[in-house]
Every structure is written in structure tokens, then in C-alpha cells.
């Protein structure tokens, strides 16, 4: 039942995965004084890893299916005019979508899928403003805040760096490997798994309303 709920939620919230037109691109910018990354993208698939200490880097694929050969050219123009950018404001960097002239309509923006990879310096904080999707995050980061309505979160971070952890969902399953024990919660309102470490620094909150949360604190 858990997989059925997750699958149905993602089907409604994100673009179709069997897309036939695509647009791939990359961006690299200097980090400057950035200490926090805000991902302001409503839905998608996100992979986050540590990268160059002085750079913020992304690579992405925007994809879209189409209804018949007459719509193919239009769909290709839409994805070609849909990109992702870094907007830097002092210590914050916002990761956001950018739409060109051919992707300005509600229909164009709503039903395009996004597969995004971010390579970020170790120690930066990461916050999501995302409603639905999949997050695969592994590495050494600062504070982490992920709160989605539907989706799947797979988080792997060093145990020693975490000061406080909360992992939860309302419907679904939460599996947390704390390094010393494995805690599994599932069903309706399964509660939250908490962890505290006085010598750590980062505050980590991961939550989905419906879906799966997997957290592993590595040695």
C-alpha cells in the first residue's frame, strides 16, 4: 500500500516520466560567501552531493511527453526554454527555474519534468521549498530542512556532524539508521524518530506528508 500511495502522489504531482523530448544543461558559478542553498522548485527529482569548495554546480534534464506528432515541436520548444539558475544574494543562493519566451504559459511550466543534480561545497546548509518529488542526498552539509507533501527522501550524512535530527511522515514509512540502532516506523501517523548529539553542529529535519523517508547516519 505504501508504494501505491507514493506512486499515485508522484504521478499527480510531477510530469510523466516517459517523456520523449528533453533538454539537458549545466551551470557552474563561484560560491563567493554563500552558506545556504534554498531550492525553490515545486517538484522534481533531486540528487545532491559534495563538490568543489569554491563552486556551486548543477546539471539537469528537463523532459516532457507530447500528444501526437503535431505537439512534438511545441513540447521541444518548451523544454529548450526551461532551465535552472543560481540566484546569489550574499550568504544565500536560490536554485530556481527560469523560463524563456516559449515556456511562459501555465501549461508549459506545470507539466515539464525535472531531473536535477547539485554539487555543493561541504558544510553549506540546504533547504527545500519543494512540494513533491524524490531527494537523494549524501555528503557533509550544514543544516538540512526537507518538508514535502508527497515523495521519497534518501539522506546519508555523517553522524558526528548532526546535533539534532527529526525524521517523520504522516502516511508511509520512516527508516532511520542511527549508527547504533535501526528504527522503523510505518503506517498512519507513525511518529517521528529523534536523535541528539551535543558535539554535533547541524540541525536536520526531514518530513513527507505521504511517502518514504530513509536516513542513515554514517560513521
Per-residue pLDDT tens listing for the chain (219 residues): 444 444 444 444 444 444 489 999 999 999 999 999 999 999 999 999 999 999 999 999 999 999 888 899 999 999 999 999 999 999 999 999 999 999 999 888 888 999 999 999 999 999 999 999 999 999 999 999 999 999 999 999 999 999 999 999 999 999 999 999 999 999 999 999 999 999 999 999 999 999 999 999 998
Total structural domains within the chain: 1
Q: Partners of 169 in the beta sheet?
A: 191, 208
Whether residue 156 contacts residue 137, with contact meaning beta carbons closer than 8 Å, is answered with yes
Give the other-Cβ count within 10 Å of 10's Cβ. 20
Question: Grid coordinates 523532459 are at which residue?
Answer: 63
**pLDDT in the model for residue 184:** 96
pLDDT score, position 1: 44
Phi, psi of 6 (to 5 degrees): -65, -45
Residue 64 lies in domain: 2-218
CB count within 10 Å of CB 145 equals: 16
- What's the Cα-to-Cα distance from 213 to each of 2, 120, 171, rounded to whole Å? 12, 22, 11
Per-residue buried b or exposed e for 129-142, using 16+ beta carbons within 10 Å of the residue's own CB? ebbbbbbbbebbbb
Residue whose C-alpha cell reads 506512486 in the numeric block: 7
Three-state SS at 18: coil
Q: Residue 182 has which C-alpha cell?
A: 535501526
pTM comes to: 0.88
**Contacts of residue 158, Cβ cutoff 8 Å, sequence gap at least 6:** 140, 217, 218, 219
**pLDDT at 69 (0 to 100):** 83
Amino acid at each position: 500500500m505504501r508504494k501505491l500511495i507514493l506512486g499515485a502522489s508522484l504521478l499527480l504531482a510531477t510530469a510523466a516520466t516517459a517523456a520523449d523530448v528533453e533538454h539537458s544543461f549545466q551551470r557552474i558559478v563561484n560560491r563567493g560567501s554563500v552558506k545556504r542553498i534554498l531550492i525553490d522548485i515545486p517538484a522534481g527529482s533531486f540528487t545532491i552531493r559534495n563538490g568543489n569548495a569554491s563552486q556551486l554546480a548543477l546539471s539537469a534534464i528537463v523532459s516532457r511527453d507530447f500528444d501526437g506528432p503535431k505537439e512534438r515541436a511545441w513540447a521541444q520548444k518548451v523544454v529548450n526554454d526551461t532551465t535552472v539558475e543560481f540566484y546569489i544574494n550574499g550568504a544565500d543562493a536560490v536554485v530556481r527555474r527560469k523560463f524563456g519566451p516559449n515556456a511562459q504559459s501555465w501549461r508549459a511550466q506545470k507539466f515539464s519534468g525535472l531531473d536535477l543534480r547539485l554539487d555543493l561545497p561541504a558544510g553549506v546548509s540546504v533547504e527545500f521549498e519543494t512540494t513533491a518529488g524524490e531527494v537523494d542526498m549524501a555528503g557533509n552539509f550544514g543544516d538540512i530542512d526537507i518538508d514535502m507533501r508527497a515523495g521519497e527522501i534518501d539522506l546519508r550524512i555523517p553522524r558526528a556532524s548532526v546535533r539534532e535530527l527529526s525524521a517523520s511522515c504522516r502516511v508511509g514509512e520512516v527508516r532511520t539508521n542511527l549508527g547504533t540502532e535501526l528504527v522503523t516506523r510505518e503506517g498512519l501517523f507513525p511518529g517521528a524518530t529523534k536523535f541528539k548529539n551535543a558535539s554535533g553542529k547541524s540541525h536536520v529535519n526531514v518530513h513527507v506528508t505521504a511517502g518514504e523517508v530513509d536516513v542513515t547516519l554514517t560513521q
